[in-house]
Amino acid sequence: MNYSARYALLADFGEFDWNRLRVFRVAVEAGSFTRAGTLLGLSQSAVSRQIAGLEASLKISLFHRGAQGLALTEVGEIFHATVTSMFERLAMGLARIDDFRGAACGPLRIATAVVFGSSWLTSKMAKFRREFPDISPTLLLSDNIELDLSTRQADIAIRFFNQTQPNLIQRHLMALPFRVYASREYVARKGVPQTVADLDEHDLIAYGDYLPAHVHDLDWLVKVGIPADQPRPAVMRASSVYAILRAVKGGLGLGLLPAYLQEDLLDLVEVLEDTRKPVVEAFLVYPEEVRKSRRIEALTKFLMSEARDDFQPLRETAV
């Protein structure tokens, strides 16, 4: 149904009285006009008049009235579902409006990549909740589906490439260095490479062919220091950072891993520390329309502070 048809249909019903809709919802929940009146501070007759007026506007009967109380008619059930949905959406909208003028509170949907979201971002949520107990974050993690911020599939995203979509605000969050790691068992068996030329004699774990297009240079281990068309052989390839991590921990070979894995890297040995390696830039992205949202502002300031504490020293040693 197009807009004109919907408008004409609403015009047939005349001007809705929002108070009648509220009385209708309470009457359904209470099961009788008397109990509804008690809840609303109205007389039974006042409730009855409000419902009668609503039914007259709609030109339908909403209730079966009997000795056992009220029961919705079939069309009354449809109308009740519609009114309930409308009030819920209105409440959500008013909560969003309140978010722009009051304290930071309410739900907050954050979209990002699976590994980054389930490691670094998740590790920050306890501290975030302590600082902002009235904000309820939901992490939407996916490597293959980019949620549409303009249609509010998510409130804010952490992405790893420059945005070109209009009406989106992009703020640089952090530079994420990658480093080369091996297990202690591996270096005891194969030694530690001192230069990139030594990589020719080592077992290398490389990334697969299905990484997102914006992620580049992650095959650095098999390409650095040699012609690009003659890469070193890899003992295994994987399209998952966690798979590379588990293979490195298992002693399979050397792997290029992001520093944001933090605690997962503590039992590994970093090699080629003085060699420049890939760095991936991360950005906070959100629609222009929520720029003044208290929740967005709170999360943005919090994450940027955490990123400075965690990654600025790493970036300085990676360049």
Q: Do residues 134 and 273 both lie within one domain? A: no
Q: Do residues 15 and 70 both lie within one domain? A: yes
Q: Do residues 63 and 24 both lie within one domain? A: yes
Q: Do residues 36 and 185 both lie within one domain? A: no
Give the pLDDT score at 102. Answer: 64
Q: Do residues 31 and 55 both lie within one domain? A: yes
Q: Do residues 137 and 186 both lie within one domain? A: no
Contact 79, 271 (CB under 8 A): no
Domain interval for residue 134: 106-171+282-318
Give the pLDDT score at 96. Answer: 61
Q: Do residues 165 and 289 both lie within one domain? A: yes
Q: Do residues 17 and 78 both lie within one domain? A: yes
The number of domains in the chain is: 3
> Tens-digit pLDDT profile for the chain (319 aa)?
443 444 444 445 445 677 888 889 888 888 888 888 887 888 989 999 999 988 888 888 998 887 777 889 999 899 998 888 887 676 656 556 655 556 678 889 999 988 899 999 999 999 999 999 999 999 998 876 677 787 678 899 999 887 777 788 999 999 988 999 999 999 999 999 999 999 999 999 998 776 655 566 788 999 999 998 889 999 999 988 899 999 999 999 999 999 889 888 999 999 999 898 888 899 999 988 888 888 999 999 999 999 998 876 444 333 3
* 187's tokens: 């270096």
Give the pLDDT score at 315. Answer: 44
Q: Which of 103, 125, 138, 94 is nearest to 294 (CA)?
A: 103
Q: Do residues 303 and 274 both lie within one domain? A: no
> What secondary structure letter does DSSP report for 41?
T
- Residue that is last in its domain, among 99, 128, 157: 99
Q: Do residues 186 and 264 both lie within one domain? A: yes
Cross-strand partners of 271: 180
- Residue that is last in its domain, among 99, 126, 147: 99
* CATH number of the domain enclosing 90: 1.10.10.10
Residues 6+ apart with CB under 8 A from 195: 272, 275
- Residue that is last in its domain, among 75, 99, 123: 99
Alpha-carbon separation of residue 251 from 192, 205, 246, 254, 267 (angstroms): 13, 11, 9, 8, 12
Q: Do residues 202 and 166 both lie within one domain? A: no
* CATH number of the domain enclosing 271: 3.40.190.10
Q: Do residues 82 and 117 both lie within one domain? A: no
Give the pLDDT score at 289. Answer: 81
